[in-house]
Each structure stands twice: as structure tokens, then as C-alpha cells.
């Protein structure tokens, strides 16, 4: 059962910060609510105040800035990303990953930024953003700050967000426009299910391979860059095995996850990355 709470829907970034400041730890940001409401119902979270960020018009936008970087606002839903033609043409891996989240109905509400902020080790957007070297744009009392997404995840459900901060957008650098990138996810059913394991890969124009692995450690994991002109599969697999620490849980065993990661990496490198 849900505990009672008050609900705020500020119209600007400043107002959000002010609301967060006045309620401190009692407040939580609400985006699509597809994670948060589940936790509230299960009594894992019990915020007294919900601060809805969907009231700020700019947050619903998918934009390209003057530098050619892709900017995805905090209220942009997974379906917005799946259906956005610019993203499909130039950053297709984001659409691929977003489409694996939950079901159509869930994707109508779930935001991609919420997916990142929830910081589940299984978050489907995490891998795609990690291999695209995305940057998280954080609103703070003292203006905006930016951090690379690889420094954003610090633990299970833990991000490097500080008190009275929130994410206003996520930025994908122009460098990765049209770069080769792919995503693979293993889940038990084709309908809504978190991944037993997932992996993403990109090959940048300057010859770097980035590989990210999800559901295999306390955070999504980004492996160190590899050289795409000189692929040493054995080394990549060893590095991957050394960087993950999967557990046995309802979705799969440790042993199975390790196996899947290796299969996925091989498939991604062979250009056989497709979901399901």
C-alpha cells in the first residue's frame, strides 16, 4: 500500500531546486514513476514529497545543440526515443536499447533519464549511454554541472547526485553521431522483464571500441577502451571477466551470466548484435 505524500509540479528548474531544498531528504524526484511507485508500493521507498519534473517544458525535448551534441531532456520517455527519427538515423543504439525496456505501456511513461537515475545494474539505457560516452547534465543550486556517465553510477541504486541536485538532461557527444554501436539483452520472456544480462558496444571513428556490461556488477560496467584496429578477443574476454562480479539471483545464475557476457561480446564484435 502507498503511504500518503504531497505532490509538487514546479514549472522551472529553479523551482525544482527550491522545492528540493525545502524538503530535503523527504523529497524525491518523480519522472515516469515506473520505478519509484513500485518502490513506494513495496515500502522500499517512502518519500513524503514527490517533485514531478514533467512540468518544465524544456525537459520534454530531444534537441541537437550548436556543437552537434544530442540532448535528451529529463522528461523524454523511452517511446519518444524509440520513435524519434533523428535518433533512429544517427544514434540507433539508443532506440534499440529503449525498445527493450518493459512493455509499450511502460515505455509510454518511463523516461530514459529516470532509467539512469534509478541506477539499477540492469538499466537498459546505461550500457548504450556508456558506450556513447554520454554526459549527465546536473542542475544544482549553483547552476549546472556535467559529469561523464561512467562516473555517475556508484552503487546499486546509487548515483553521484548530491543533495538538492537532479538530472536535467543527458548529452551524447557529436563524436558518436553515426558511430557503429549495438546492444544485446537476455531476458526470460519477450514481454516486460529486466535483463538477466546485457551488453553494449560502440566503435568510434577514431578507432576505439567501448564495451559496457549490465546486470553483472553493482553498477553497469564500462570496460577500458580497446583498439578497433587490433582486436585481441582473448584479452577483451579476460578483461570483461575480471571486471564483472555477477551474482545468482532470480533472473539467472552467476555461471550463466558469465557465459552470456562472453557470447554477447563475441556477437557484438562480429556485428551480430540484435536483441532477443
Ligand X SMILES: Cc1cc2nc3c(=O)[nH]c(=O)nc-3n(C[C@H](O)[C@H](O)[C@H](O)COP(=O)(O)OP(=O)(O)OC[C@H]3O[C@@H](n4cnc5c(N)ncnc54)[C@H](O)[C@@H]3O)c2cc1C
Spell out, one character per residue from 150 to 189, where the chain touches ligand X: x when CB under 6 A holds, - when not. -----------x----xx----------------------
The three three-digit cell numbers of residue 30, written as one number: 518523480
DSSP 224: P
Please, which residue, 74 or 132, has the CB nearer to ligand X? 74
Q: What count of other Cβ atoms lies within 10 Å of the Cβ of residue 113?
A: 28
Given the complex with ligand X, which of 38 and 154 has the nearer CB atom? 38
Question: Taking CB under 8 A as the rule, does residue 5 contact other proteins?
Answer: no
Is 103 near other proteins (CB under 8 A)? yes
Pick one of other proteins, ligand X, none as the site partner of residue 142 (Cβ within 5 to 8 A by kind). Answer: none
Q: Does 36 bind ligand X (CB under 6 A)?
A: yes
Q: Which does 117 bind (CB under 5 to 8 A by kind): ligand X, other proteins, none?
A: ligand X
> Phi/psi class of residue 227: alpha, beta or left (left: φ > 0; alpha: ψ in -120 to 50)?
beta
Spell out the residues 6+ positions from residue 121 whose beta carbon is closer than 8 angstroms to its own.
156, 214, 215, 216, 217, 218, 219, 220
35 or 133: CB nearest ligand X = 35
Question: Using alpha carbons only, what angle is made at residue 239 by residues 116 and 227, rounded to the nearest 5 degrees?
Answer: 85
Q: At what angle do helices 233-243 and 254-269 cross, to 10 degrees?
A: 140
Rounded least distance, CB 107 to other proteins, Å:
13
φ, ψ (nearest 5 deg) of residue 131: -75, -15
Site for other proteins in 206-225 (CB under 8 A): 215, 217-218
Whole-angstrom Cα distance, residue 127 to residue 135? 13
Is residue 10 part of the contact set for ligand X (CB under 6 A)? no
Pairing of strands 49-52, 6-8: parallel
What x-and-dash track marks residues 149-178 binding other proteins by CB under 8 A? ------xxxx--------------------
By CB under 6 A, tell whether 54 contacts ligand X. Answer: no
For other proteins, the binding residues (CB under 8 A) are 1, 38-39, 44-45, 103, 120-122, 155-158, 186, 188-194, 196, 215, 217-218, 245-256, 259-260, 263, 276
Amino acid at each position: 500500500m502507498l503511504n500518503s505524500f504531497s505532490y509538487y509540479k514546479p514549472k522551472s528548474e529553479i523551482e525544482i531546486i527550491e522545492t528540493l531544498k525545502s524538503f530535503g531528504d523527504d523529497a524525491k524526484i518523480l519522472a515516469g514513476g515506473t520505478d519509484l511507485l513500485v518502490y513506494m508500493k513495496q515500502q522500499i521507498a517512502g518519500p513524503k514529497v514527490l517533485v514531478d519534473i514533467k512540468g518544465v517544458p524544456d525537459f520534454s525535448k530531444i534537441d541537437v545543440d550548436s556543437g552537434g551534441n544530442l540532448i535528451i531532456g529529463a522528461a523524454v520517455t523511452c517511446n519518444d526515443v524509440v520513435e524519434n527519427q533523428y535518433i533512429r538515423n544517427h544514434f540507433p543504439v539508443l532506440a534499440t536499447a529503449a525498445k527493450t525496456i518493459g512493455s509499450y505501456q511502460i515505455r509510454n511513461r518511463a523516461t530514459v533519464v529516470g532509467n539512469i537515475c534509478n541506477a539499477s545494474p540492469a538499466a537498459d539505457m546505461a550500457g548504450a549511454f556508456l558506450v556513447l560516452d554520454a554526459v549527465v547534465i546536473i542542475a544544482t543550486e549553483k547552476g549546472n554541472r556535467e559529469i561523464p556517465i561512467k562516473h555517475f553510477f556508484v552503487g546499486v541504486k546509487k548515483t553521484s547526485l548530491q543533495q538538492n541536485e537532479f538530472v536535467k538532461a543527458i548529452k551524447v557527444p557529436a563524436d558518436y553521431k553515426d558511430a557503429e554501436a549495438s546492444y544485446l539483452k537476455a531476458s526470460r520472456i519477450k514481454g516486460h522483464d529486466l535483463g538477466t544480462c546485457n551488453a553494449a558496444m560502440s566503435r568510434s571513428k577514431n578507432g576505439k571500441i567501448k564495451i559496457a556490461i549490465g546486470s553483472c556488477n553493482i553498477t553497469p560496467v564500462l570496460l577500458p577502451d580497446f583498439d578497433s584496429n587490433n582486436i585481441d578477443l582473448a584479452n577483451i574476454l579476460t578483461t570483461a571477466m575480471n571486471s564483472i562480479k555477477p551474482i545468482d539471483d532470480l533472473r539467472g545464475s552467476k555461471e550463466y551470466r558469465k557465459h552470456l557476457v562472453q557470447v554477447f561480446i563475441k556477437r557484438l564484435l562480429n556485428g551480430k548484435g540484435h536483441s532477443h
